Each structure stands twice: as structure tokens, then as C-alpha cells.
Amino acid sequence: MTFQPNPGDGIVINGTAYTVGQHPAAPGVAYAQAGRQGIVYQLIPVDGEIYQAKALKVFFPKFRIPAMVYQSEHLGSYQEMPGLRVCNREVLTPERNGDLIAEYPDLLYAVIMPWVHGCTWFDVISDQRNIGRSESLMLAKALAAIGSSMEQRGLAHCDLSAPNVMLPFFSEVKLPEGAAAVELVDVEQMYSPKMDRPDVLLAGSPGYAAHRTVHSGLWSAYADRFAGAVIIAEMLGWSDPAIVNRAWGESYFDQHEMQTPCERYFLLKKSLGQRWGSRIADLFGRAWDSQDLSSCPTFGEWLIALSSVSEEEVPEDPPAAAAVAVADADTQAKPAESSSESPAEVPAELMESLGIQPGTREVNDNVVSRLFHQARDLEAAGNLSGALEIFRSAYHFVKKDSPLEVELAAAIAGLEKELFPPEDPADKGLKALLTSRKFMISAAAAIVILAGSAFTVNQILAEKAESKQLEAQRLAEQQAKEQEEAARKQQEEAAKAEEARKAEEAKKAEEAKKAAEEAKKAEEAKKAAEAAKKAEEARKAKERAELQAKYDRQAKYEAYLASLEEKKKKQELQEKYDKQAKYEAYLAQLEEKKKKAAQEEAAAKAAAKAEAERKAREQAAAARAEQLQKQRSQNIVELVALYNKAYNAQVAGNKDRAKNFARQFMTLYNKDASYNRTVGSMISRRNNLNKFLEDDSFWIPKL
């Protein structure tokens, strides 16, 4: 029965009860991780803490080697070394775990060891996760210390790569005091002067193996030096966003770039020199230009150099601070009307210091965020002019029509309105009219004319009153007084009415102005809210896309590792398979003894036994069908690989090698041609290679 547990399934190993853990990113799926040599399952102790979880590594058939027992006993002496906690291992053997192996034959020579919590360095690279300077330095020093301690004992991991470097430092599980920040896993290929050379040697992982040794296999005391130098450089470089953004994918370097004068190498070396010093950059350069592994820097040299580096950030003169000072000076020296003009172009020196190519608006989000927060701080401190200039500078660096551009535009408009409020046209016209010289002269002339006219009328009335009787004169004087009083009252009422009208117009104008301002503020708030909502939706969509991409990369990597295990089998492994066959025969004898003992039981169990045998036959048939489908899937993967190898060999100019791969393809294809021709474009691959075998001038198309 194959070992395919579900989350929550129980299992007892060496007297300890465990339950299978659930994958945190895939509910309902067992927490398992595929590697080159097998699959690792998480086992949580029934009576214990989560940090005491164990890892059960179930090896693929060709890696189930009896010598694993001796190897694990030897590795156990290194479990107290920093970063080698997984050397605390127990191997499941027929003598100690016979019943469990009989139930699950896949567990033969499986290994149980401590589960290392946290992500891998592979996860950090794949997620393009930026880390701080202190974290970069701490991780690099931890890895250098582990490598130095191993080198002093003549040890080497022999497959040092991003997936095999665990980072408990980033674990969400609370770990006990003194837990290491970095741990190494997959130690089955570890080199030690006291251990025998493995039958199968790994050639290193893409992106970390030196190309001069990648084909010869790695198993020596110097095996980790080149890969260790690359990982340490990656850890230090991952505090630089420019390096993170230039990563190839699952590693910083593409395997084809290793030890070549490529662009990524020069960028990383320059970043190491600028951020960590020339000594660090020189060590990386020595490793990159080395002719063999023994000439690479030792981990001790790395540890000494890293110990002399400060954790503090290298002090920089922020360009934004200079921009603020210039903005303040310009604000004090220039009149307000200059604010209505468009912002000046950003100086080339400022753009160069920010890492921007002249003529572009693209910049790292961290720079824009820094300028934005500096402007907000100035605005909170009351320096509105300086904040306006910083907002204008940041506006040059954002992408067009992005939510951040909308937010910056709203902030600039708000500050300009607050600093330079517009004048009301009605007030401006009335004020200009009242204060103009022409209006003042006209008003004075009108007053003089009115005064002169009143004097003339009174004089005429007085002359006529002399010829009339005294009563008429008194009546005329009385009427004149009444008219004068009425005129005065009418003039006062007219003045009051004019003042009331002006006050009402001013009030209406003020209310209209306030209403317009409130409407504009409401519109700006609405736009800002919409921009914030869009930005939040974009952020969530990006997070979902990044999470999905992470799962896709993990699945792709696991499929890639699984496919490597099913490649062509070598004849020299026949002896190992013979030993395995003898052991399986021994297990069959044990099973036969059990069957004979079962036959001696009471006749009442005969029916139950028959039913059990029927179910076993059905399960065996289902298993054979599943095995056939699995074998076919593996064959399809190998056919695609052989086709790609033939194509690559032809591109490289090696026709003989291409023909060899083409013949291997035809042989494997013809073993199950009826099924293979139904799969995708496999019939096209077969026809292309057949044409190539008939005529080696035929160019194999890339599919």
C-alpha cells in the first residue's frame, strides 16, 4: 500500500504518536514538499508543541539504500552544530519498524528528523521579497558561520542551493530560545572524510553550480564554496531593490550565466561594493572568476569580512531634502503669482541620484513613497510651500494615469488653492470701480452740482416770498423744510437700501463661493476615495496574482524535480536493484509465513478472508491501472525532454548526439505508440525526429 496520507491521519513511529500536518496554503492537502530524492511530510506530535514537529522523508525507490542507516548514525554526531539540526535522524528499518513498513512499503529506509519551520531562501527569491539591511547581514553571517564550522570539520553539504537553505528567522511559529536563523536541509549527499562516496552524485542546482564542475558531480570538502558565495551575495544584495528587480526567477543568476561576464554579475558586484564595501565585492569576484572550487574564498574569509561590516545604513544625502531647502528659499524670494506656473523640470543631478535615466518617469516605488511622506511631514509642520515643491518633484516620477498620480495631482491642487486662493470676479470689479480715480472725480463733481442746484432753488423761492404775504412766506418756509426733511429721509433710506443690497449681494457671493469650494472639496474627496479604492483593489489583485504565481512556480519546480528522478536508468545500478529484489523476496517469505499462520485460524474467518482477498485484488487492479497511467505520464515527460535534447544538440551543432536522443525518443515512443500518438503534439514530435533520422539536414522545429 502506497504512503499517501491525508491531513490529520495518525501514525505511530518508534512509540511516538503523530498526526499528518495540513498544508497552510492548501486546506485539505497534506503538508508535503517534494525534493530530488523524495517527499517530506510534516508530522505533528500528539503530545507536544508545534515547534517539536518532525519531518518524515520518504525516498524514491532508487534512493532507498540500506547504507542510509550507517550514514544517519554518522550524521547524528553533527546535530549540535549550528544549522545542522536535521542531522538528528532516525531511519525506519525492517528490524525496528517491520509492521509499519509491511503496511506501507514506501517507508522502507525512510528518515524521520526535526521539521524546520520557516520559508526557504528559494521562497524569498521567487516572491521578490525585499529585506532590510540588518536582516541581509544577519542571514549572510549565519550562513557563513555554518559553512565555516563545517569546513573546520572537513564537511560539505554538496547541494547548497536556495531550496535547501531554510530561514527559521522568518517563521511564524514561536521557536525556542537559541534557535538558528538559518538551517540546512537535504543532507543525504553530505561529504565527510569518514563516509563512503555515494553511488549517485548530484551535479549541483541551476543558478548555484559552477559551470566548470557541474558535469563532474560534487563530493569534496570544497563543494560548497562557490554555491555558498553566490547565496551569501544574494542575501546581501536582496536589501537592494535594484538587485531584486533584476533576478532571473528562481535564483538571481540563470545557469547559463554562471562564471561569465554577464550583466547581472556586474550589477550585483557593484551593489555589493557600494553597500557593503570593496572587501565583500572582491570576495565575490574571486569566487566568480575561480578556476576550481578550492580557489574560491573559504567561509571563514566571508565570516571575517561580514563581521567587520556595520549594520547601520550607509548615510545618504537625500535628494528630497535638498529639494525642500530649495523650495523654501524660492518661496520666500518669489511672489505668489509664480505658483500658477507649471513645475520646473527635475534637475539631472537629482534624477541621477535617484537612479533614473533622464527623459523617463520610471522610478522605484520606494523613492516616490519617500518623497510623498516627506511632503506630508512638511505639510503637517506648516511648511506648505516646501510640501508643494516636493509633491511637484514626486509627480515627475509616477506612472501616467496611475492612482498615485491622481493622488499627487489632488494634493498639489489643494496646496495651490490654500496658498493662492482665487479672487471673486464680482468683488474684484466692484472694488476696482470704487477705488478708480475716474469714479472718485465723477462722484465729487456730482456732489458739487447737486449742492449748487439746491442753493439756486432756495434763492429763487426766497425772492418770490418777499412779494407775498407773511403767512405765505411762513407756509413756503414750512413746506421747504418739510421737503428738505423728506429729501433727507429719502436719501437715507436709499443709502440704507443700497447698503442692504450690497450686503445681500456680498452674502450671496460668499455663500456661492463657499458652496463652490465645498462642491470642489467633495469632488476632490470623491476622486481621492475612488483613487484609494482603485489602488487598494490593484494591490489586492497584485497580491492574489503574486500568490498564484508562487504556487505555480512551486508546482513547476516540484514537477521539474520529479521528472529528473525518472530519466534514463544506468546499467551500473543493476546490482543495487538485485539487492532490493532479494530484500523484497525476504519480505515475501515473511508474508508467506503470516499467510500460513492465518490459514490455521478458525474456519469462521474464511469468508472474511475471501472478501478481504477480493478487495485486495480490486485494489491491486486499481493500483496497476494507476501505475500504468503514472508510467505513461512519466514517459510523456521523458519524450518531451528527449525531443528538447535532440533540438538543443542540433542547435549546438552536435548531430550525432542529436541522432542519439532522436533514436531514444523513437524507442520509447514505440513502446506505447497507441497511447503516445493521442497526447498533445507528440505525433508531431515523432514525425519531426523521424524526418531528422532519415535526413540529418532536416532542421528540428522547436515545440
pLDDT tens for 344-354 read 344 444 444 44
**pLDDT confidence of 407, banded at 50, 70, 90?**
confident
According to the model, what pLDDT value does residue 461 have?
Answer: 39
- What's the pLDDT score for residue 456? 37
Higher pLDDT, 208 or 312: 208
Least confident of 6-10, 235-239, 292-296, 517-521: 517-521
- pLDDT number for residue 303: 93
165 within domain boundaries: yes
Does 225 lie in the same domain as 371? no
Cell of 614: 477480493
Rounded Cα–Cα distance for residues 530 and 538 (Å): 12
Give the percent of the chain with pLDDT over 90.
26
How many other CB atoms are found less than 10 A from the CB of residue 266?
10
Q: Quick one: pLDDT band at residue 212, thresholds 50, 70, 90?
A: low
Q: What's the confidence (pLDDT) of residue 213?
A: 60
Lowest mean per-residue pLDDT among 10-14, 339-343, 434-438, 556-560: 339-343
Give the range among 155-159, 160-164, 280-284, 403-407 with minimum mean pLDDT.
403-407
Which range of 294-298, 392-396, 543-547 scores highest in mean pLDDT? It is 294-298
Same domain? 300 vs 374: no
Residue 364 neighbours by CB distance under 10 Å: 17
Domain end, chosen from 115, 134, 153, is at 115
Cβ neighbours of residue 375 closer than 8 Å, sequence gap 6 or more? 386, 387, 388, 390, 391, 394, 411
Of the pLDDT bands very low, low, confident and very high (cuts 50, 70, 90), residue 451 is: very low
Confidence label for 449 from pLDDT (cuts 50, 70 and 90): very low
Tell me what the mean pLDDT of segment 222-226 comes to. Answer: 92
- Domain containing 284 — which CATH number? 1.10.510.10
Of 30, 207, 239, 258, the closest CA to residue 124 belongs to 239
How much is the mean pLDDT over the chain?
A: 79
Q: Is residue 490 part of a domain?
A: no
- Burial (CB < 10 A; 0-12, 13-18, 19+), residue 51, is middle
* 665 lies in some domain: yes
> Which are the contacts of 550, defined by CB distance < 8 A and separation ≥ 6?
123, 126, 127
Domain boundary among 284, 310, 336: 310
Q: Which amino acid is at 160?
A: L
Q: How much is the pLDDT for 184?
A: 94
Contacts of 268 (CB under 8 A, 6+ apart): 233, 237, 243, 252, 284
d(CA 254, CA 241): 19
If asked whether residues 167 and 263 sit together in one domain, one would say: yes
683 and 650 within one domain: yes
Tell me: do 25 and 128 sit in the same domain: no
Half-sphere exposure of 646 (CA within 13 A, CB side): 29
- If asked whether residues 172 and 303 sit together in one domain, one would say yes
pLDDT band per the 50, 70, 90 thresholds, residue 215: low
Nearest to 227 by CA among 254, 209, 206: 209
- Name, of 53-62, 315-324, 370-379, 590-599, the range with top average pLDDT: 53-62
Query: Do 149 and 58 belong together in one domain?
Result: no
Does residue 303 share a domain with residue 209?
A: yes
3-state secondary structure labels for all residues of 609-628 = HHHHHHHHHHHHHHHHHHHH
Task: Identify the weakest region by mean pLDDT among 8-12, 454-458, 676-680.
Answer: 454-458
pLDDT of residue 341: 35
* Same domain for 370 and 223: no
The answer to whether residue 517 sits within a structural domain is: no
Q: How confident is the model at residue 112 (pLDDT cuts 50, 70, 90)?
A: very high
- Torsion of Cα atoms, 192 then 194 then 199 then 200, to 10°: -10
3-state SS, residue 25? coil
Kindly state whether residue 272 falls inside one of the protein's structural domains: yes
If asked whether residues 173 and 83 sit together in one domain, one would say: no
pLDDT of residue 654: 92
Domain identity same for 276 and 389 = no
**Residue at a domain's end among 82, 98, 115:** 115
Question: Using 50, 70 and 90 to split pLDDT, how confident is the model at 279?
Answer: very high
Specify whether 302 is located in the same domain as 177. Answer: yes
pLDDT, mean of residues 499-524: 83
pLDDT of residue 365: 56
* Domain with 106 in it: 1-115
Position 472 scores a pLDDT of 62
Number of domains in the chain: 4
Q: In whole angstroms, what is the distance from residue 107 CA to residue 486 CA?
A: 120
Q: Tell me what percent of the residues of the chain surpass a pLDDT of 70.
A: 80
Q: Give domain status of residue 257, yes or no.
A: yes
Whole-number pLDDT of residue 329: 35
pLDDT at 386 over 50: yes
Q: Which residue has the higher pLDDT, 456 or 243?
A: 243
Query: 312 pLDDT band (50/70/90 cuts)?
Result: low
> pLDDT tens-digit profile of 478-510?
777 777 888 788 888 878 878 888 888 888 888
Query: Residue 622 domain-assigned?
Result: no
DSSP notation for 60-92:
-GGG--TTHHHHHHHHGGGTTSTT-GGG--EE-
When pLDDT is cut at 50, 70 and 90, the band that residue 320 belongs to is very low
More confident residue, 149 or 1: 149
Domain annotation covers residue 445: no
